[in-house]
Structure 1
Amino acid sequence: MFTLQTHKTNKVILEPLSHKHLNGLYKAGQHPIVWQWVLINYTKSHDILKEWFLTQAQFNKNEQIVFAIIDKDTQQVVGTTRLFKLDKFNLSAEIGHTFISNDWQRTYINTHAKYLLLKYAFDELNLVRITFNTHEKNQKSRNAIIRLGAHFEGLAYKDRKLSDGSYRNTAKFSIVDEQWPDVKSQLEERL
């Protein structure tokens, strides 16, 4: 169902993640604030990043596509995001596992990247539901998801075990196909 292809706006390029992006991804992940709410910092070292790329980023290409996020003007890799948990029967997927370099947060990068993923999901894959999940306490991420036009659905308690052994409560959001035309229009105005 997935076609590995590049998606572009006038400011952002999403390319299926490959070995050529790893050095840029390593540089993008060096500020510790990037990893405050992410389950694992896979840019701690080049070796960890390569292991993550081979075992996590390449996991089951029928269920996910991992993208490098590239700033079009500078050609700099500024992070990564993915479309995953594809459910071909229910026509749904999740967008997430996103990290954006600290220098590029609160810029146009996230809006453009998520617009491209949503457009691909709804307009090309004909999905009917996209889910977004984040840590209950990650207000920055929650605000960004709401700005995209997603609707808060509630909390999933003790949803994921964190590296320190504690559990995270997950804030769940969604966009469904009936909402997509309005969300798309609003995002295109912001692009």
Structure 2
Amino acid sequence: MNLDLQPTLENELITIVPLKADDFEKLYAVASDPLIWEQHPNKDRYKREVFENFFQGAMESKGAFIVYDKATSNVVGSSRYYELNEENSAVAVGYTFIGRDFWGKGHNATLKKLMLDYAFQFVNKVILHIGATNFRSQKATEKLGAVKTGEIEIAYYGEPIKWNFEYQIDKAKWENK
């Protein structure tokens, strides 16, 4: 399997590029908004010291991205590929957050579409983990055609265990959408 976990992807709305250490300040400028995290299991991720831990996990994942709006070059947010499972032909997509300036404007759906289209060139399943109280993200995930397959506890990098819902999108369903 030749799935590169950090390709550069783009379309007319956004550019997705591999996250680098020197992206911290511009990404934290977006992540420092408490309202982004109000439904997330880790509601205090807007705090610098908590976000520093998140960012460190993103860097160590070797699958994280920073996302830019093409029209303005402003930072939209971040996402990543993780948990590549070649045996089961699956990869997870997540750890996504989008700045409120871009909510409801198609950036999240476009981000996921680019990432899913790319992943499905190499795998047959994409997994998404969504916090049990993150109704906004659950709804967005279901709009993509994802189906809830379970409920699990997840310990994000250096953070307490939180209850999450696991969703799955199958390649055949995605391609027929």
Q: Normalising by structure 2, report the TM-score.
A: 0.85
Identify the residue that residue 171 of structure 2 maps to in structure 1.
177
Residue type of the partner of 1:10? E
Which residues of structure 2 form unaligned runs of 5+? none
Q: Give the number of aligned pairs.
A: 173
Q: Does the CA contact (< 8 Å) of 1:21 and 1:77 recur in 2?
A: no
Identify the residue that residue 9 of structure 1 maps to in structure 2.
11
- The alignment partner of 1:179 has SS state of helix
Within 5 Å, which residues of 2 pair with 1:34-183? 34-36=36-38, 37-39=40-42, 41=44, 44-45=47-48, 52-53=54-55, 55-61=56-62, 65-123=63-121, 126-156=122-152, 159-160=153-154, 168-183=162-177
Deviation at 1:108, TM superposition (A): 0.9
Instruction: Calculate percent identity across the aligned residue pairs.
Output: 24
| In 2: Cα distance, 1:52 partner to 1:169 partner | 18
Q: Normalising by structure 1, report the TM-score.
A: 0.79
The alignment's C-alpha RMSD in Å is 2.5
Deviations 1:18-40 (A, max 9, x none): 13432221111121011221537
Identify the residue that residue 187 of structure 1 maps to in structure 2.
none
Q: Does the CA contact (< 8 Å) of 1:129 and 1:176 recur in 2?
A: yes
Q: Does the CA contact (< 8 Å) of 1:81 and 1:95 recur in 2?
A: yes
Deviations 1:4-27 (A, max 9, x none): 431001101111111343222111
- The alignment partner of 1:106 has SS state of coil
